[in-house]
């Protein structure tokens, strides 16, 4: 949606967006910036203070405030503090609490000259009212010494993930532009700022392994204006060192017999196992890691029971990033599973990227089928 452009002269508050701590019935905050001098905002009941706020749309050098009540109202004094902010969250005091005396004899209007302050959001905090137990404002006018607003920077673009570890994600983006100059960038995870930098790269640390994180970036200028957010990117941190990337992940296979399906190789139970169709080599079993991960070691196991006598399976380790084209990580060779040494085989290879890791079996001296109880996949 295209919003109303901020005015560059005159009453900067006219028609702008407003908010308030509360409202009484049909007297909303927007009444204080409309063209009807007889409409007004009134806060809800309850103890003071109450507040009313206007968003000028961009930062200005605010230096004057005019506050009105309906012309026919009786005299009253409201105690008001004037505050300003460039981001809508951190406010500073422009004018300390003082008495705003509204007198129908002078049009129920109070004009205050302010110390020139850069602000996009102007807030009136009301601590008391001698005429009614609530904050009341019919019209708030804000003026600036400069007729040129300080517009926010453009949004950063092209945010990408340039690297990751088990506890960090590195990001890069294209610089924003601004009429007075960009002073820095905030990297945000959701609504939380997780890094502040002056350049166009950042590394977010202190993350958890094997976890997906979504980031965006906003730019800030010297006046404190904040840009719109960049595109969002999501990255999954690497697994912790020596953790099993395959545990609980989806599996597939060339075939299986009875209840000995491929899911048994990632269920954590060393006594359950995958067994392919008999006398029909080659056979294979495969794990989908969910996204492309760095892999460099596999651990293959058969049940440790002594009933599983020693056997040699001829097998290879293959990997793919798309599930269609596979490369060979470990060439085909005989691998001996011996119950005397735990019935397991560990194979290491040059670290590579893969989403799908496949064990291809072409022979077995102990049974005419491929057999595995566990397939562990590690980064190194």
Query: Domain boundaries in the chain?
Result: 17-144, 157-236, 251-378
pLDDT at 147: 55
Q: How far apart are CA 366 and CA 278, in angstroms?
A: 12
Architecture of the domain made up of 17-144 = Sandwich (2.60)
Q: How far apart are CA 238 and CA 225, in angstroms?
A: 35
Q: Which residues on neighbouring strands pair with residue 123, listed in sequence order?
A: 53, 83
CATH 3.40.50.170 given to domain 157-236: no
Handedness of CA 338, 341, 342, 344 (dihedral sign): negative
Handedness of CA 199, 192, 153, 231 (dihedral sign): positive
Q: How far apart are CA 167 and CA 177, in angstroms?
A: 32
pLDDT at 149: 65
pLDDT at 2: 37
The SS3 assignment for 341 reads: helix
The two structure tokens encoding residue 318: 């293959």
Assigned superfamily of 251-378: Galactose-binding domain-like (2.60.120.260)
The two structure tokens encoding residue 256: 């299986």
Torsion angles phi and psi, residue 287, rounded to 5: -120, 135
User: pLDDT tens digits, the chain, 380 residues: what are they?
Assistant: 334 444 445 899 999 999 999 999 999 999 999 999 899 999 997 789 999 999 999 989 999 999 999 999 999 999 999 999 998 999 999 999 999 999 999 999 999 999 999 899 999 999 999 999 999 999 999 999 855 666 789 999 999 999 998 899 999 999 999 877 899 999 999 889 999 999 999 999 999 988 999 999 999 887 778 899 999 999 998 877 778 999 999 999 999 999 999 999 999 999 999 999 999 999 999 999 999 988 999 999 999 988 899 999 999 999 999 999 999 999 999 999 999 989 999 999 999 999 999 999 999 999 999 999 999 999 88
**CA nearest neighbour of 150 among 123, 191, 125, 178:** 178
Same fold, 17-144 and 251-378: yes
The Cβ of residue 74 has, within 10 Å, a number of other Cβ atoms equal to 11
Q: Which residues contact 64 (CB under 8 A, 6 or more apart)?
A: 111, 112, 113, 114, 142, 143, 144
Torsion angles phi and psi, residue 316, rounded to 5: -135, 165
Q: Are 283 and 358 in contact (CB under 8 A)?
A: no
């Amino acid at each position: 949606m295209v919003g109303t452009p901020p005015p560059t002269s005159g009453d900067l508050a006219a028609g702008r967006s407003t908010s308030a701590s509360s409202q009484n019935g049909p007297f909303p905050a927007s009444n204080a910036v409309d063209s009807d001098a007889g409409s007004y905002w009134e806060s809800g009941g309850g103890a003071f203070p109450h507040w009313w706020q206007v968003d000028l749309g961009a930062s200005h050098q605010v230096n004057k405030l005019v506050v009105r009540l309906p012309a026919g109202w009786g005299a009253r004094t409201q105690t008001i503090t004037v505050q300003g902010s460039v981001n809508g969250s951190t406010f500073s005091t422009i004018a300390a609490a003082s008495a705003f005396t509204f007198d129908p004899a002078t049009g129920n209007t109070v004009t205050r000259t302010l110390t020139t302050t850069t602000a996009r959001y102007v807030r009136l905090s009301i601590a008391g009212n001698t005429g009614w137990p609530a904050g009341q404002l019919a019209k708030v006018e804000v003026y600036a010494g400069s007729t040129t607003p300080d517009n926010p920077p453009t949004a950063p673009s092209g945010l990408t993930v340039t690297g990751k570890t088990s506890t960090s994600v590195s990001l890069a983006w294209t610089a924003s532009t601004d009429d007075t100059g960009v002073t820095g960038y905030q990297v945000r995870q959701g609504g939380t700022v997780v890094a502040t930098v002056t350049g166009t790269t950042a590394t977010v640390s202190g993350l958890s392994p094997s976890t997906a994180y979504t980031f965006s970036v906003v730019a800030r200028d010297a006046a404190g204006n904040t840009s719109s957010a960049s595109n969002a990117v999501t990255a999954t941190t690497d697994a912790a060192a020596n953790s099993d990337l395959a545990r609980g992940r989806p599996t597939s296979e060339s075939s299986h017999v009875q209840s000995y399906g491929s899911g048994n190789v990632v269920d954590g139970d060393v006594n359950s196992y995958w067994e392919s169709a008999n006398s029909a080599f080659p056979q294979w079993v495969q794990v989908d890691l969910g996204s492309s991960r760095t892999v460099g070691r596999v651990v293959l196991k058969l049940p440790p029971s002594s009933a599983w006598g020693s056997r040699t399976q001829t097998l290879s380790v293959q990997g793919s990033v798309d599930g269609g084209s596979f490369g060979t990580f470990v060439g085909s060779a005989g691998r001996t599973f011996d119950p005397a040494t735990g019935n397991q085989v560990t194979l290491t290879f040059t670290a590579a990227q893969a989403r799908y890791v496949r064990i291809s079996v072409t022979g077995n001296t102990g049974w005419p089928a491929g057999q595995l109880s566990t397939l562990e996949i590690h980064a190194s």
